[in-house]
Amino acid sequence: MSGILEGKVAIVTGAGQGVGRAVAEGLAAEGAKVVVNDIGVTLTGESENPSAADEVAGAIRAAGGEAVGNTDSVVEPENAAKIVQNALDSFGRIDLVVNNAGILRDTIFHRMTAAEWRPVIDVHLHGSFNVSAAAAPHFRKQESGSFVHMTSTAGLIGNFGQANYMAAKLGIVGLSRGIAMDLQRFNVRSNCIAPFAWSRMVSSIPTETEADKIRVAKLKRMTPEKIAPLVAFLGADAAAGISGQIFSVRNNEIFLFNQPRPVRTIHRGEGWTAQAIAEQLPGAFGPSFTPLERSAEVITWDPV
């Protein structure tokens, strides 16, 4: 296959189904050789289909592409290193890492336990670090490479019952920006994508209210395949100079998200007391406070 990624080698974690599978297949269609990584677990992390990665790799090969399956876990650094080594052993190099692997353990915060917190952080945030850290020395040596990390509007904006997932996904934004800044001098890029797509992970959204049912109906119109073109672009030489950014794909829309910067300031020459702050800060900053909104309340228009 030929395309914008001709001659490049990509790793896609969590690529056994959903967004990950669509991305892996999309990268292959653009000419990339792909390591399809997935340990074959359920949405909450229990073993389900250990052959998922091989099945996707087989489908890519059947379509004329090049791919290998990999079942190493991103949670352990030594296994993450094996994923990168698999790419080197199979295809001789590594050019693109797509950190997509994730699980959910949704619980309202006051009921959330450490057993629901840690695995989500481990897979999303620690997993993204582990695979990125394993690939970074190779990117540095060859003075090229691209990371694409999957974040979420749950972390960028907010959602109920997902403090663990929100923390992980917003942490990934910080990780991506840190990578982008530290590896810029080696011509290595790092960006985030918040995907809107109907997938297994999104299918866990509750539909108890009429508004939630309408929201889910809209999500079902957005297929995972819509995410792949932006991932392919960010992994291609055509994206040179684009790094440290946060994008989102929503059906046929591509968004660029802003990043935190000061929006208001107050000054008091003689310094502040708690009482003085109480008298001045709420009125001065209040109109600029960010409301406690879910992404559906911020991005309110229908997908196009």
Q: Which residues are catalytic?
A: 165
Query: Token digits for 3?
Result: 């395309």
Q: CB under 8 Å, gap of 24 or more: what pairs does 209-213 form?
A: none
What order do you get walking across the sheet with 188-196 strand by strand?
Answer: 66-70, 33-37, 9-12, 96-99, 145-150, 188-196, 246-250, 253-256
Beta strands in 124-229 (DSSP E): 145-150, 188-196
Q: In angstroms, how far apart are the furthest CA atoms of the chain?
A: 73
Which CA distances in Å does 19 have to 49, 77, 136, 208?
Answer: 17, 24, 24, 25
Are 105 and 159 within 8 A, CB to CB? Answer: no
For residue 265, report the phi and psi dihedrals to the nearest 5 degrees: -145, 150
